[in-house]
Structure 1
Amino acid sequence: MSIKSLNQAKKDNINLSRRSFMVGTVNTSLLMAFGASAIPSVLSAKEALSSKTFSPNVWFEMDTAGNVVVNIAKAEMGQHVGTAIARILADELECDWDKVSIVHVDTDPKWGYMVTGGSWSIFQTYKPMSQAGAAGRQVLINAGATLLGVDPSSCKAQQGFIVSGNQKISYGDIVAKGNVDKTYSADELGALAIKPGNKRHLIGIGNDYKALDIPPKTNGSAVYGIDVEVENMLYARPILPPTRYGSTVTNVDDSQAKSLPGYKGFKILTDPSGTIEGWVAVLASDYPTAIKAVDKIKVSYNAGKTVNISEADIQKEGERICRDRSEGTLFVDEGNITQAQKNAASSIEAMYTTATASHFQLEPLNAIAEFKEGKWHIHTGNQWQSLTLPTVAKAAEVPEADVVIHQYYLGGGFGRRLFGDWIIPALLTAKAAGQPVKLLFMRPDDTMFDQPRSASTSLFNASFDGSGKFTGMEHALAAGWPTLAMAPGFMPDGVDGKGKVDPFSASGADHWYTMEHHRARVINNKVAQNTFTPGWLRSVGQGWIVWGLESFIDEIAHETKQNPVDFRLAMLDGKGKQAGKAPESVGGAKRLANTLEILKKKTADVTLGDNEGIGYSVTAGQERTMPAWIATAAHVHVDKRSGKITLKKLWVVADAGIVVHPDGAMAQMEGSLLWGTSLALFEQNEIKDGYVSKKNLHTYLPLRMNDVPEMDIEFVESDEFPVGLGEPGVIGVAPAVGNAVFDAVGVRLRHLPMLASHVTDALKV
């Protein structure tokens, strides 16, 4: 799929383009569904729903008790996405929230394009689910009015009843007694009015109800991918080759493993999809035996070319390509930066870098592959089923229609479970073994096969005229690109037409500041790209791009002797393209400025002790086409003797439009701020000998409880279109902390994570 078609899919989700909507009573249920095309006059909605002639995706159904089941085509990994989507629907439908339940669906094509990432879920589903609920409510009012013997204009929907004066009838009775048969064309559906944000009672700030996934998660009934078992299955554990790419197996000696009861041998895997190379899978009747057997098997290889690559090699290449203006392609090119630099009376330059970082999601990778009744059935938790399924089919050498991915809860995703490459060795092992296989990764296996966030490099240059006024900025940014590795069809052309761009490794460089001259050049770091599969890690490119950008904005402010907050506010004027557009970015940069104004007032009276400072940042992640306006402030203390940075408090003001599920939004923001803190001050996993060097959590050190800061989070009340909140909170933490360190002790840190040794080294200069 091209980037144009990806954007079109997102737009279609919002606008219901080319889809009709059917509502009909079938047997003892009221089914409501989007159809793939207009219903011909020879079929009623009831007939189409009953016969499934058009394979409609039944988004929700209601039974004679008024219970509503909402089908969710998104992955649940702790963010309560099903609850949020169901709330949108239930609010418009005016059903009883206590009678709403959710079901996560498999990869049947009728559900359409399936992806849970990029903080897109609410943004994409808000309008279609609202309009579906509005259509359902209208149909129920009409049917209820008929049963009550009154005019529909006298009726209203309320808490699962149609009410007219002193009469009322329940939704369940309407389903049982009514004869609903209604088709809405796409135009009719689009014309349906949906409630403004201030008329909602199930969504929005101040409206809080239970998350539907919490009971099963707390009573133990929730099923995660790692919980699933099927009959007659074997267990498998992989043995990973010495490099991610290019290694081949020359010999396997399993003589010591054969003495283990339950050991069932090994398989050398050959992958028609080219996803894995040089893999061996060990089989056993139980998982403990599979674990032990791996330690007893000796595999010999011809190692791939990247076997000696180190983090230093990646960083060295990053600096080289950023300094070479012939490398890469332009993502932003406004004004004339070349002329601005020629005319400049002075300039400043800075290079910002980040270390390789790993996902370390709680649930290690796992999948069951079973061939049954002519189809491959995959049991796992996956974020981007529509991206994964074609590659799985290629590996199995079957049509896509012969692969079904069954969806389960994810024990954490954070981007690692977007492209389900771990399914491939499970399927290939099951195919070679001739029976179902459950492949589980031990934590070191999981970490070695991770798709880490690539080490990155950002080079900035700012120009100033004779009066010291800032005139323009050049920005070069380089890293390994996840989209190039896993979804190259999504990459658009650069603005100069000289190459493709990974939009997820460039977003954030197209900021909301008004600058007369601004150029951003993006470059793929081929050393990183060839060493491992660069991954989408929570906040994706913005996490490292905006770290450099917002730190350098502070540097420019100090160079021009301006207050960093006021300097930002002056550039957030909402002029030109920074004005934003409907529906997703109404207000543009001025809404971002508003969050910063609120934050400025909240932090105005903070008392700072010795070696303490406050730093600020503004961000608009995830993308310009779906911005969440966020201002962040960080209060730090720096121990000048040891170099330890203590993050005492974070303040965040966020404008994300209508907040659909306030409790979930707050949890998302809290989690993302802590993730941002972890990346800012702790997390790094340097590449050594072609792999990440830290394989488990006794050496990889994310944020610990005793370093959790106080957090003050405020959501701006808004009736604007809702946008995502899963990732944007991560982005602003690191630059706010870095700017706070400068405010505290006058040293500028330019590498993530910011370590005590970086502080002491900088203080010596």
Structure 2
Amino acid sequence: MFHYLEKTLASQVVAPTRRTFLKLSAGAVGGLLIGGGVAPIRDAQASTPAEAFVQPFVHITPDNQVTVIVKHLDMGQGSANGLATLVADELDADLSQLSVQHAPSNPNVYKNLLFGVQGTGGSTAIANSFEQYRQAGAAAKAMIVQAAAERWGVEPGTITVSAGTVSGGGNSATLGELASAAAEQPVPETVSLKAPEQWVYIGKETQRLDLPVKTQGSVGLFGIDLQQADALTAVTLRPPRFGATVASVDDGSARAVDGVVEVLQTPAGVVVVAQNMWSAMQGRTALEVTWDETNAEMRGTDELAAEFSALLDQPGNAAPARGDAAGKLASAATVIEADYSFPYLNHGQMEPLNATVMFDGEKAEFWFGSQIQTLDHNVAAAVLGIDFPNVSINTMFAGGSFGRRATPDAHLTAEAAMVVKAWFDATGEARPIKLVFTREDDMASGYFRPMHMHRVRAGVDENGMISGWEHRVVGQGIMIGTPFEAFTVKDGVDHSSVEGAADTTYDLPDFALDTHHPTVGIPVLWWRAVGHTHTAFVMETMMDELAEAAGIDPVAFRLNHLTSDARLAGVLREAADRVGPAPDGTHRGIAVHKSFNTYVAEIADVRLREDGTVKVEQVTCAIDCGVAVNPDNIRAQVEGGLGFGLSAVLREEITLTDGQVDQLNYPDYPPLRISDMPTVDVHIVASAEAPTGVGEPATPPIGPAVANAIYRATGQRIRSLPLTKHGLA
């Protein structure tokens, strides 16, 4: 999703020498925060001893601790544990000696191999790191073995490593005992990786390293928990409408609030800096601000919906077509036309946006859940007017993201930098300032999944095969107006709006798609699974309608159109074979979809309650994501992704009235409750293919699977979400 960042954002990167890198890394391991990184999630506070083995991805200390440096933000998806598993398997470390630490910002060393810059997203963490982190573990092991061989006077081939113990020639030592000697060995240019049958941890279920410290409430893991001596808290009063600006400010009452230290103004709004969060919030409430709404977005949801709907009647910018869709539809035995609508959605991540910054006029240090470090790093340097090497970013664990922390404009970083710069300019004082979005700030400040409308005309012939498919999409393009537009928008079509439809792997030889991307002053952003979240709904509910029109079982109908995608057909068969009879009183729907190179089929069993609302009782899911590094974590991600999608399907929508967001907190934007969550039965298809994403692909199919089940229960086709619109949730 972010692979075009390399050309636009990495130009200021400075490559460290090996000496400076080792110094930087060693300091980070010990919790000194030199150049970036946060303390490992273990209780090691001492700096790394000189006898340590320090490599970019693996640090081994004399106390026999192995710290894996993770280049990807862990926002709850388990990437830190997955990367540690890869290193541990090739190193043959014992899981009990492992800890993880977020890497410092340095794209030359820690770039996402699929993006070209340091960043996390698009379900790529394991996919782009699978060989890289195994090679790091294998290289570390080779250096350990060579050091042991020289110490003991034996051949390297006679030495074995198992569960963190090195043995050979009647001798044994721990990894830590050999760390110093291993550090003196040359890094091997090439290493041999284990064959799958040799894996010790990969493919097995192991406990995540972050669970104990998270459940114990360890301090300082998350940015919002960070407490620093002498730190101040900042909150911003932002315009009530997008595009408005400050016209005038009366801050006298705000400054009179106990605990308020300063009131500042930035392009984001009026900032209250205080001794604590409560004082900052009270000071903000006391502000008297007049807004200039000359360029503000004044339209509400109803007005926008009417404009979007009108565009469905007009030809748009065409994506590359296949065959003759119009001609085939003219001769089809049955043609179905349907319009669909999808609302704006908030990410709703548990931890609202926040960032702590220390700036002394020359250097700046950031602490937050940075999802695209290279972008944040460059923006911070630009806003503060300092050189790239004078900025350091400490990546914290993040309490969810679902896309929210990965913004093309890095607006959180920019705002935090503007606040601390305004503070320093006003006071000349260097103090840590924590910028915090309240839940209401986070909910109303935009960067939503875009509202979209679709129109589809599709037909079937006398043989039950699809005969022509015309598809129109109307919605804001996420990439339009960003630095990535030139790379991701082709012929006026933003791929993020049509992925999952324009590139469907169904056999549709006669297919045409066009789009409209209206200009709207509401900031939009990718949301877990991005465009697939609405295109999958349209594709899979329409496939069910066409199957019914053809008089063919919906599974068989899909398989008839998947002759060129064996893996997607495979998960569909797997789910259908595994599901078993539908429980009495339930109705069944199915959907299958490929996203982020992962294949997912979901079968939903739905029951109608006496009050007419829907209860999704059970979902049977089959997933093909290549090699399953940790099956337990994959099941957790499928369950979480499915639940995240179901939450939106049932009740979630962002609406606007006269340009102002109506929903401000969870009571207005109700997330999935535990009583809504179905039993989920996950089946992972065994595969020798390279790992692919698991964080997002389970989200798109749940909506259409539930909608198809509702049709069987009620005879009602669901073509707009959420289900509250239909009295079903």
Question: Does TM, normalized by the shorter one, top 0.5?
Answer: yes
Which residue is 1:633 aligned to?
603
Q: CA deviation at 1:469?
A: 3.8
Which residue is 1:669 aligned to?
638
Report the TM-score when normalising by structure 1: 0.83
Contact 1:595 1:653 in 2 (8 A): yes
Contact 1:91 1:200 in 2 (8 A): yes
Q: CA deviation at 1:241?
A: 0.8
Contact 1:3 1:491 in 2 (8 A): no
Which residue is 2:479 aligned to?
483
Q: Distance between the aligned counterparts of 2:560 and 2:9, measured in 1?
A: 36
Contact 1:475 1:520 in 2 (8 A): yes
Whether 1:704 aligns to 2:680 is: no
Instruction: Classify 1:698/1:634 alpha carbon distance in 2 versus 1 (closer, same or farther; 3 Å).
Output: same
Moved more, 310-319 or 114-123: 310-319
Whether 1:128 aligns to 2:132 is: yes
Q: Distance between the aligned counterparts of 2:183 and 2:484, measured in 1?
A: 49
Contact 2:631 2:684 in 1 (8 A): no
Q: Classify the secondary structure of the residue corresponding to 2:104.
A: coil
Which residue is 1:440 aligned to?
436
Report the TM-score when normalising by structure 2: 0.87
The match for 2:509 among 506, 516, 527 is 516
Which residue is 1:214 aligned to?
211
What fraction of aligned residue pairs are identical, expressed as a percent? Answer: 27
Q: Distance between the aligned counterparts of 2:550 and 2:16, measured in 1?
A: 55
The match for 1:145 among 115, 124, 149 is 149
Contact 1:474 1:518 in 2 (8 A): yes
Q: CA deviation at 1:94?
A: 1.1
1:503-560 per-residue CA deviation (whole Å, 9 max, x = no partner) reads 4753454122122112333432323xx2x21012112111111111111111111111
Which residue is 2:582 aligned to?
606
Contact 1:21 1:183 in 2 (8 A): no
Contact 1:635 1:648 in 2 (8 A): yes
1:475-527 per-residue CA deviation (whole Å, 9 max, x = no partner) reads 22232233335552573353xxx235344753454122122112333432323
Q: Distance between the aligned counterparts of 2:6 and 2:675, measured in 1?
A: 42
Letter in 1 for 2:82: A
Question: What does residue range 180-219 of structure 1 map to in structure 2 within 5 Å?
Answer: 180-185=184-189, 189=190, 192-204=191-203, 207-219=204-216
Which residues of structure 2 form unaligned runs of 5+?
A: 30-48, 112-116
Which residue is 2:176 aligned to?
172
1:668-697 per-residue CA deviation (whole Å, 9 max, x = no partner) reads 111111111111111112122223211011
Which residue is 2:276 aligned to?
286
The match for 2:658 among 689, 693, 701 is 689
Q: Distance between the aligned counterparts of 2:135 and 2:118, measured in 1?
A: 20
Whether 1:114 aligns to 2:118 is: yes
Whether 1:356 aligns to 2:352 is: no
Whether 1:381 aligns to 2:369 is: yes
Letter in 2 for 1:715: I
Question: What does residue range 380-399 of structure 1 map to in structure 2 within 5 Å?
Answer: 380-399=368-387
Q: Distance between the aligned counterparts of 1:255 and 1:8, measured in 2?
A: 43
Q: CA deviation at 1:604?
A: 4.2
1:228-252 per-residue CA deviation (whole Å, 9 max, x = no partner) reads 244444322111113222x222211
Q: Classify the secondary structure of the residue corresponding to 1:144.
A: helix
Instruction: Classify 1:146/1:468 alpha carbon distance in 2 versus 1 (closer, same or farther; 3 Å).
Output: closer
Contact 1:643 1:757 in 2 (8 A): no
Q: CA deviation at 1:597?
A: 1.1
Letter in 1 for 2:167: V
Instruction: Classify 1:125/1:154 alpha carbon distance in 2 versus 1 (closer, same or farther; 3 Å).
Output: same
Q: Distance between the aligned counterparts of 2:219 and 2:64, measured in 1?
A: 24
Q: Distance between the aligned counterparts of 2:480 and 2:463, measured in 1?
A: 44
Q: CA deviation at 1:111?
A: 3.1
Q: Distance between the aligned counterparts of 1:476 and 1:258, measured in 2?
A: 53
Q: CA deviation at 1:143?
A: 3.1
Q: CA deviation at 1:621?
A: 1.5
Contact 1:614 1:743 in 2 (8 A): yes
Q: Classify the secondary structure of the residue corresponding to 1:483.
A: coil
Which residue is 2:458 aligned to?
462
Q: CA deviation at 1:632?
A: 0.1
Letter in 2 for 1:690: G
Q: Distance between the aligned counterparts of 1:660 and 1:756, measured in 2?
A: 40
Q: Distance between the aligned counterparts of 1:731 and 1:461, measured in 2?
A: 21
Q: Classify the secondary structure of the residue corresponding to 1:106.
A: coil
Which residue is 1:368 aligned to?
356
Instruction: Classify 1:477/1:608 alpha carbon distance in 2 versus 1 (closer, same or farther; 3 Å).
Output: farther
The match for 1:615 among 568, 589, 606 is 589
Letter in 1 for 2:89: D
The match for 2:245 among 226, 248, 255 is 248
1:22-57 per-residue CA deviation (whole Å, 9 max, x = no partner) reads 9x999x99x99xxxxxxxxxxxxxxxxx99xxxx97
Q: CA deviation at 1:196?
A: 3.3
Q: Distance between the aligned counterparts of 1:303 and 1:9, measured in 2?
A: 32
1:558-615 per-residue CA deviation (whole Å, 9 max, x = no partner) reads 11111111011111112xxxxxxxxxxxxxx212212111211223422442xx3100
Which residue is 2:81 aligned to?
83
Q: CA deviation at 1:66?
A: 3.5
Moved more, 121-130 or 56-65: 56-65
Contact 1:491 1:500 in 2 (8 A): no
Which residue is 1:581 aligned to?
none
Which residue is 1:318 aligned to?
308
Q: Distance between the aligned counterparts of 1:699 and 1:336, measured in 2?
A: 46
